């Protein structure tokens, strides 16, 4: 029987509610939505949409590292954007992080907490 391992790192912001940063089950890691919060200050990274996107992806990377994985292990990403007009800016930042073996992806308009421009969650697999 596979057990759940709760992934936690101080290199990413703590959850805003009753959930884990990520849960690892066997070869799979399910990463909760990451906001563009600087883990050192607990503040939004910036007013800039591009800077917020970078911070959200850096948080994602930190959690993957804590789970023993990296961005190449990501098989699915969901982006939650406050404003769909920000898609081109966020997509450009996304392309800096995901360059090869591109994961499946969905983009949804939503209202992330703290007035953030985006939130990102992911599923990763150790292969």
Q: Could you give all domains of the chain from N- to C-terminal order, each with its CATH number?
A: 4-125 (3.30.1330.40)
Average pLDDT of the residues of the chain: 97
Residues 46-100 pLDDT 10s = 999 999 999 999 999 999 999 999 999 999 999 999 999 999 999 999 999 999 8
pLDDT band at residue 1 using 50, 70 and 90 as cut-offs: low
pTM above 0.85, yes or no: yes
Query: Does residue 127 register a pLDDT over 90?
Result: no
pLDDT band at residue 2 using 50, 70 and 90 as cut-offs: confident
Residues 101-117 pLDDT 10s = 899 999 999 999 999 99
Contact criterion met (CB below 8 Å) for 124 and 22: no
The contacts of residue 99 (CB under 8 Å, 6+ apart) are none
């Amino acid at each position: 029987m596979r057990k759940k391992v709760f992934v936690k790192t101080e290199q990413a912001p703590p959850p805003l509610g009753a959930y884990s940063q990520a849960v690892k089950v066997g070869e799979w890691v399910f990463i909760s939505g990451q906001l563009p919060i600087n883990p050192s200050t607990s503040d939004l990274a910036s007013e800039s949409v591009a800077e917020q996107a970078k911070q959200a992806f850096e948080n994602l990377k930190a959690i993957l590292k804590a789970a023993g994985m990296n961005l190449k292990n990501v098989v699915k990403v969901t982006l939650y954007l406050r404003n769909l007009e920000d898609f081109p800016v966020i997509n450009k930042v996304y392309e800096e992080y995901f360059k090869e073996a591109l994961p499946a992806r969905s983009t949804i308009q939503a209202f992330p907490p703290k007035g953030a421009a985006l939130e990102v969650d992911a599923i990763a697999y150790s292969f």
